[in-house]
């Protein structure tokens, strides 16, 4: 595997993509767990499919279209939740279905043979291109820099939103940034695990990390480390066994979560 990594550029792209995805996943996944935004992130992920279809239709990089759709849908979801009486579940359901429907329509309107969208739906880290990697680097940089700059503000906002308002923190801005960062993370993960499997990779590493620490930055760091293990492990298994990489990554992540949870419960029960 190491010799192949040195020899083949597609494996190098996959390796670096796994590292970058793990960083974004560890940071934003922790925020999603703390703010209970799991279904919202799933809604954004599926809405991004509309942008992928639009990218193919316009002849531009599909991930750029996905990024535009994801960010706009995140802002739209937040706006409707704040300004209307529509329940959040209904808003998410409508955006979820609309994004998938628009993606299908745009792809059907695309001239020529229909493109293969399997890697975007279910992930194929071995097909990550150099342009995909560049886009991922840019979005990852935005995520990391934003969290570093506003870390203390985010920490207060996550654990006590009312206190954050009392001390004068821009809660509305922090909430908007949170939604935008989730959208960017979704796009980072699309080529790694696919739209259909994003929620699992966003939630499994931080859920495991929270069983060992309640510190926000420790949870983020441990989630990043776990994400790297899951992504590289899935990459190795998919390369050796010739199976879909996204599915391999998710199976490892979810299985690890259940194993850790069961072992922890067993240890705690045996000590009582």
Candidates 136, 120, 189, 142; CA nearest to 13 is 136
DSSP per position, 66-83: HHHHHHHHHHHHHHHHHH
Flag whether the pTM goes above 0.85.
yes
Confidence band for 26, pLDDT divided at 50, 70 and 90: very high
What pLDDT is attached to residue 266? 78
**pLDDT value for 165:** 86
Q: What does the alpha-carbon distance between residue 68 and residue 48 come to, in Å, rounded to a whole number?
A: 8
* Most distant pair of Cα atoms in the chain: their distance: 66
What is the separation of C-alpha 147 from the centre of its chain, rounded to a whole number of angstroms?
15
Q: What is the pLDDT of residues 146-165, one digit of tens each?
A: 999 999 999 999 888 888 88
1 versus 60: the higher-pLDDT residue is: 60
State pLDDT tens for residues 162-220.
888 888 888 888 989 999 999 999 988 888 888 888 888 899 999 999 999 888 999 99
For 229-255, what is each residue's pLDDT tens digit? Answer: 999 998 888 888 888 888 899 999 999
Q: How confident is the model at residue 119 (pLDDT cuts 50, 70, 90)?
A: confident
CA distance 217 to 155: 9
Domains for the chain: give ranges and CATH numbers. 2-271 (1.10.3470.10)
């Amino acid at each position: 595997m190491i010799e192949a990594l040195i020899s083949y550029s597609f494996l190098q792209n996959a390796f670096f993509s796994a590292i970058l995805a793990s960083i974004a996943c560890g940071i934003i996944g922790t925020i999603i767990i703390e703010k209970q935004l799991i279904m919202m992130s799933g809604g954004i992920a599926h809405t991004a499919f509309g942008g992928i279809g639009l990218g193919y239709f316009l002849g531009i990089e599909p991930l750029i279209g996905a990024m535009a759709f994801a960010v706009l849908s995140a802002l739209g979801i937040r706006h409707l939740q704040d300004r209307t009486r529509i329940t959040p579940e209904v808003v998410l359901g409508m955006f979820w279905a609309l994004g998938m429907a628009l993606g299908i329509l745009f792809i059907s309107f695309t001239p020529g043979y229909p493109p293969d969208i399997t890697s975007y739906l279910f992930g194929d880290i071995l097909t990550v291109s150099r342009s995909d990697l560049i886009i991922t680097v840019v979005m990852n940089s935005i995520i990391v820099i934003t969290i570093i700059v506003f870390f203390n503000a985010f920490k207060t906002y996550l654990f006590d939103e009312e206190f954050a308002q009392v001390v004068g923190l821009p809660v509305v801005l922090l909430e908007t940034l949170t939604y935008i960062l989730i959208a960017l993370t979704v796009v980072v993960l699309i080529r790694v695990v696919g739209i259909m499997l994003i929620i699992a990779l966003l939630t499994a590493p931080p859920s495991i990390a929270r069983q060992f620490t309640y510190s926000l930055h420790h949870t983020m760091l441990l989630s990043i480390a776990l994400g790297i293990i899951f992504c590289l492990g899935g990459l190795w298994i998919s390369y050796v066994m010739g199976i879909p990489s996204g599915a391999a990554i998710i199976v490892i992540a979810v299985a690890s979560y259940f194993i850790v949870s069961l072992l922890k419960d067993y240890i705690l029960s045996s000590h009582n």
